[in-house]
Amino acid sequence: MPHVSPGDPRELAATTRAAFRAAYDIEPLVVGHAPGRVNLIGEHTDYNDGLCLPVALPHRTYVAAAPRDDDLVRISSLQVSEPWAGRLEDVRPGSVPGWAAYAVGVLWALAESGLPVPGMDALVDSTVPLGAGLSSSAALECATAMAALAILGEEASETRLRMLVGVCMRAESEVAGAPTGGMDQTVALLAEPDSALLIDFAAGSTRAVSLGPDAPHILVLDTGVSHSLNDGGYAARRRDCEEAARRLDLVTLRDATLADLDRLDDERLVRRARHVVTEIARVERTVTEIEGGEWERVGGVFVESHASMRDDFEISCPELDLAVDTALAAGALGARMTGGGFGGSAIALVPPDDRGRVATAVGEAFVAAGWTAPSTLIASPSGAAAVD
């Protein structure tokens, strides 16, 4: 079963520079880099003004860039074959196809925010698995934003980083057409090492939650089932939540209680809203248990969260359920699907000594079901985006 290594950030920044030189025959000015993420808990809560608790992965996306003296943008990637080139002034929602929309969309959104963004040449390398629900798109956005900010000669102050969260969200929802909620960009830009990031979308605040020296390993199991945030299921869940809030006369489901759900007469909306209300409470419980070092209890909350996503929010799939059930049977303290759903990855909390056993058991169960064994990685909590 393949294990995905994050690589060494210094080496990867250097090889990205070298690849840029080979592609464009000039020296890049900067390398911006940003992590993928895995969410510990708090799924589909961000766009409901709720709470979530992601960690930044050691796996990162690197963007080497140099400014141009015209408004041409050229961008290529070592992971995908189609490069993109075009004028910044021609970029608008829907005008950039495919992967490049996430990067070029950031330049567009920065310019929309009033910054004098020049044309640029850029080259991307990444160790964040694509389509695995680990936010390769936010990593690309945030790495591009960091490179562009440095090219503009701007300091990456906390205020600037918070502004970049909004810029990257605009790029994703308006240019790439994925109406996501902000968790991925927030953790990529504001994560702190060795910690998860508690994000409160109603308060607009973040707090690092240290995982402590005795934390189990966070084993990520990529089911290989393709996951895409702009093919309908994600937007449909978001619409259900907005409709439930509207019928309850609330701005968002953050303000809903379980008792409120009796006022909804649509069975599907009840289940969607119940997931959101209970999931927000589970984030709070998870933080309390992590801070008390009670990892077995964190595992129990993960199991409840998975059931809620499977039964109430209906975003799991047979591969995610098998990964979760097998990991638990093989000794994981807890397991759940993570991210937007409909495929992507599951996570399992595993004592370091049990890591191999759990990964092997899940791989064998997949093969027995006639599927390819998941690829795995360890989500050691890493730091935020930076420039090199």
Residues at the site binding ligand GLA, with contacts judged by CB under 6 A: 39, 43-44, 46-47, 180-184, 229, 339-340
Closer residue to ligand GLA in complex, CB, 149/337: 337
Cβ at position 58, least distance to ligand GLA in Å? 18
Whether 174 and 159 have beta carbons less than 8 Å apart is answered as no
Bridge partners of 61?
34, 126
d(CA 50, CA 330) in angstroms, rounded, equals: 32
Residue closer to ligand GLA by CB (options 16, 345) is: 345
Active-site annotation holder among 184, 222, 240, 312: 184
Residues in Cβ contact with 183 at an 8 Å cutoff, skipping those fewer than 6 apart: 37, 39, 42, 46, 52, 54, 199
Q: Among residues 91 and 229, whose Cβ is nearest to ligand GLA?
A: 229
> Alpha-carbon torsion 377, 378, 381, 382, what sign?
negative
Return the number of the residue (230 or 380) whose C-beta is nearest ligand GLA.
230
DSSP 3-state of 64: strand
We find the least distance from the C-beta atom of residue 137 to ligand GLA, in angstroms, to be: 8
Contact between 234 and 176 (Cβ < 8 Å): no
Q: How far is the CB of 229 from ligand GLA (least distance, A)?
A: 6
> Residue 198 corresponds to which tokens in the numbers above?
């508690």
Identify whether 25 is a catalytic site residue: no
For residue 176, give the DSSP letter.
S
Of residues 7, 43, 29, 14, the one with CA closest to residue 342:
43
CA distance 34 to 32: 7
Residue whose C-alpha is closest to residue 253's, from 280, 217, 283, 293: 280
| In the complex, least distance from residue 114 CB atom to ligand GLA, rounded to whole angstroms | 25
Minimum distance from CB of 83 to ligand GLA (Å)?
A: 25
CB nearer to ligand GLA: pick between 128 and 365? 128
Residue with tokens 């009796």: 262
Q: How far from 323 is each of 282, 320, 364, CA to CA, in Å?
A: 21, 5, 10
Q: Which residues are tagged catalytic?
A: 184
